[in-house]
């Protein structure tokens, strides 16, 4: 086992569930290498997804889009949600779920800008792959429907 792997294992970077989101973001700085920081970020993101969204991958597009739409401060988020409530506008469950990841990304960007940028790059790559997969699936479905229609037409034509 290499030295940096031993260093990573010697640091107990666990999540108890009692931490605030800012404390979770601080755990990223407990490791030195970028790969390890990204691993800790992935662990934290998975924890947030399972705690608040109940499915893994729910935050993928939010993280990828945070390059275009930078994360807002927790105070700004709370203010905007309160304004929505003041004007009797409904606050969606999606907005409430996104508060947690946006808060984590805000603190991560504040604590370690390089890790934040690298994390966003990785999630952009993931979303591109997911988009390509979805496009291929749609075209496959269209091709299957066309093939079935042609087959049915030929069967009806024969009889």
Read off the pLDDT of residues 7-21 as tens digits, 9 standing for 90 and up: 555 566 778 888 888
Total number of domains constituting the chain: 1
- Residue 125 domain-assigned? yes
SS3 127: helix
- Residue 114 domain-assigned? yes
95: confidence class by pLDDT, cuts 50, 70, 90: confident
- Residue 142 domain-assigned? no
Question: Across 26-35, 87-96, 145-154, which has the greatest mean pLDDT?
Answer: 145-154
- Residue 158 domain-assigned? no
Q: Which two tokens stand for residue 120?
A: 């966003």
- Residue 156 domain-assigned? no
- Residue 157 domain-assigned? no
SS3 72: coil
Q: 77 lies in which domain range? A: 3-132
6: confidence class by pLDDT, cuts 50, 70, 90: low
The Cα diameter of the chain in Å comes to 75
- Residue 146 domain-assigned? no
Between 59 and 96, whose confidence is greater? 59
């Amino acid at each position: 086992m290499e030295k940096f792997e031993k260093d990573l294992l010697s640091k107990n970077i666990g999540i108890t569930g009692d931490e605030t989101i800012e404390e979770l973001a601080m755990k990223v700085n407990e490791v030195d290498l970028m790969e390890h920081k990204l691993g800790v970020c992935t662990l934290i993101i998975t924890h947030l997804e399972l705690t608040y969204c109940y499915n893994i991958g729910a935050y993928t597009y939010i993280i990828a889009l945070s390059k275009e739409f930078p994360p807002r401060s927790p105070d700004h988020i709370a203010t905007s949600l309160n304004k929505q409530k003041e004007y009797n506008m409904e606050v969606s469950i999606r907005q409430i779920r996104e508060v947690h990841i946006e808060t984590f990304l805000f603190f991560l960007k504040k604590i370690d800008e390089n890790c934040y940028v690298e994390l966003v790059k990785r999630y952009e790559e993931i979303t591109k792959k997911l988009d390509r997969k979805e496009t291929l699936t749609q075209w496959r479905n269209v091709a299957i429907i066309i093939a079935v229609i042609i087959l049915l037409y030929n069967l009806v034509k024969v009889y």
